[in-house]
Chains A and B, each alone.
Chain A
Amino acid sequence: QVQLQESGPGLVKPSETLSLTCDVSGYSITSGYYWGWIRQPPGKELQWIGSVYHSGSTYYNPSLKSRVTISVDTSKNQFSLKLSSVTAADTAVYYCARHFPIGGPTGVRFDTWGQGTLVTVSS
């Protein structure tokens, strides 16, 4: 059974870099899916941040692209999110999730999610 678990600091200071990791268990991260990050600020809708393939290929939301880096570590079966120059607007629950390849024959659906981790940006 595939399981995803987010981890990282729950509090980040303004202007610093938010760093989160998603550990994947029960499935090899190299086996054909994309791995994505989604966030939900308090009282707001879900926002897709970006996704990575095991080859390192990435897609990012243009609204965040200048500040986001998503990478994969196949040796640890995990992938990571870095969001730089954070402000209070980046306070959100961050989720990692698995989805079928973008542009592939199967629709892009997030079929497995982590439970999410709250990150608060505050001094």
Chain B
Amino acid sequence: DIQMTQSPSSLSASVGDRVSITCQASQDISNFLNWYQHKPGKAPKLLIYDASNLETGVPSRFSGSGSGTDFTFTISSLQPEDIATYYCQQYDNLPLTFGGGTKVEIK
């Protein structure tokens, strides 16, 4: 299985801050990576697909980059409604696997 290692596991930042999360794959996955936002009690939401493409309707403050084994997810200006846990997911090989998640909180 391809292991997806996310860091940090949690972070605290102020409203308006730039926030970045990294996801490292245990092998080359090209750009076959997605990012999700998950708020407690709600359905997870797709934000970024194919490493850098913004899902329709998702605010432009969210972005993704990277290829191969190293990927970055960025919130350019953290908003209160962005409080959630964020996950990466690879689809280069089965089984589909997810990162451990990064919990984002407001300082």
Residues of chain A at the chain B interface (Cβ within 8 Å): 4, 45-48, 59, 61-63, 95, 97, 102, 107-116
Q: Smallest CB–CB gap between A99 and chain B, Å?
A: 9
- Contact present for A107 and B98 (CB under 8 Å): no
Q: Which DSSP category, helix, strand, loop or mixed, fits chain B's interface?
A: loop
Residues of chain B at the chain A interface (Cβ within 8 Å): 1, 32, 34, 36, 41-46, 49-50, 55, 87, 89, 91, 94-101
Q: Once the chains are docked, how many angstroms separate the CA of A107 from the CA of B100? A: 21
Q: Which of chain A's residues has its CB closest to B31's CB?
A: A107
Chain A residue numbers with a CB within 8 Å of B97 are: 48
> When A45-B100, A46-B87, A95-B44 are in contact, do A111 and B55 touch as well, CB less than 8 Å?
yes
Cβ-defined partner of B43 (8 Å) among A45, A46, A107, A115? A115
Seed contacts A63-B95, A115-B42; 16 additional CB < 8 Å A-B pairs: A4-B43, A45-B98, A46-B101, A48-B95, A61-B94, A61-B95, A62-B95, A63-B1, A107-B32, A108-B96, A110-B44, A110-B46, A110-B89, A111-B55, A114-B43, A115-B41
Chain A residue numbers with a CB within 8 Å of B34 are: 107, 109-110
- Contact present for A111 and B98 (CB under 8 Å): no
- Contact present for B43 and A116 (CB under 8 Å): yes
Q: Once the chains are docked, how many angstroms separate the CA of A114 from the CA of B44? A: 8
